[in-house]
Amino acid sequence: MDSVLVLIAAPGSHAIGVKTADMLRDFGAGNPRWLAKGEALEVADFAGRDAAAAEIVALPIDINVVPVLNRRKRLLIADMDSTMIEQECIDELGEMAGIGAHIKQITARAMRGELDFDGALTERVKLLKGLDAAIIDTILRERISFMPGGRTMVATMKANGAHTALVSGGFTPFTSRVAEALGFDENQANNLIVADGRLTGEVGYPILGQQAKLDALRRISATLGIATADALAVGDGANDLAMIGEAGMGVALHAKPQVQAEARFRVNHGDLTALLYLQGYEKAEFVT
């Protein structure tokens, strides 16, 4: 068995039932291995896979073909905004500055790959000039929420020997706090320049964009003495594409269309625990 077909639904949805397993058998699949009743199962890849997938695509179920070899990863490298948290931090800063709609528009275009990331970031940060830096603490306290399943994913992978890194095109005041709260081993992001307690409208150079995320994947892998094939990378935006493409398991999580099109693995219905199912973990193995 070289690969398995993994079906994943949203936690608690019970979208994957006995009828789904029976349908897979009708197309030639063997008996399923239930990773979580109603939420996740896998079967050995089979000849009728594409026909079965055509039936499943209309259901609220993610379907991925996962190689069995080297399935459990030894490094997790994750984007932060709209991946490990439910917000885009620079958009939240824009809201507090009273220019939220304008900044959100630029962010959306940058994440779709329509704008140069570095230029879009410097443009948005410039608009924040004069904002009280204490606003960051307010945003973290009142406006930031974690993506469901993230803490469990990090804890489970760490309990099984993986190293975890939060690598963001956002800003260190956010990544440091999010990384600590979720249990990441390290974090990397851009520096917002502050003078006299206010944002100067400048960001530290070099700007950490798509290449920096790829470089982080390679650097951390080399430090750990592993190959990038031993890594799982997850993100949602165009600046995540390089690391998603190089990692052994690159996952587009509720991602922009360009990322969906290019990523080998996609999660649109499940939460972050779906990344554990992709690696073959059963729910009973989760560390919460």
Q: Parse the chain into domains and list their residue ranges.
A: 1-69
To the nearest whole number, what is the mean pLDDT of the chain?
96
Q: Which of 22, 50, 79, 240 is catalytic?
A: 79
Residue 40: pLDDT band (50, 70, 90) is very high
Distance in angstroms (rounded) separating the CA atoms of residues 97 and 86: 20
Q: From 3.30.70, 3.30.300, 3.40.47, 2.40.30, which CATH number describes the 1-69 domain?
A: 3.30.70
Burial (0-12, 13-18, 19+ Cβ within 10 Å), 31: exposed
Distance in angstroms (rounded) separating the CA atoms of residues 42 and 36: 10
Q: Convert 115-129 to b/e letters by CB count within 10 Å (16 or more is b).
A: bebbebbeebbebbe
Residue 111: pLDDT band (50, 70, 90) is confident
Give the DSSP per-residue string, 259-284.
Answer: HHHH-SEEESSS-TTHHHHHTT--GG
Q: Which of 2, 26, 62, 81 is catalytic?
A: 81
pLDDT at 122 over 80: yes
Q: Convert 49-70 to b/e letters by CB count within 10 Å (16 or more is b).
A: beebbeebeeeebbbbebeeee
Distance in angstroms (rounded) separating the CA atoms of residues 159 and 152: 10
Q: What are the φ and ψ backbone dihedral angles of 8, each rounded to 5 degrees?
A: -135, 135
Average pLDDT over residues 43-60: 95
Average pLDDT over residues 34-38: 97
Please write the tens of the pLDDT for every residue from 233-246: 999 999 999 999 99
Please write the tens of the pLDDT for every residue from 141-183: 999 999 999 999 999 999 999 999 999 999 999 999 999 999 9
pLDDT at 1 over 80: no
Number of Cβ within 10 Å of residue 104's Cβ equals 17
Please write the tens of the pLDDT for every residue from 228-283: 999 999 999 999 999 999 999 999 999 999 999 999 999 999 999 999 999 999 99
* Residue 2 a catalytic site member: no
Give the DSSP per-residue string, 75-122.
Answer: EEEE--TTTTBSS-HHHHHHHHHT-HHHHHHHHHHHHTTSS-HHHHHH
Please write the tens of the pLDDT for every residue from 124-138: 999 999 999 999 999
* Residue 45 a catalytic site member: no
Query: What is the distance in angstroms between the CA of the first residue and the CA of the last residue of the chain?
Result: 31
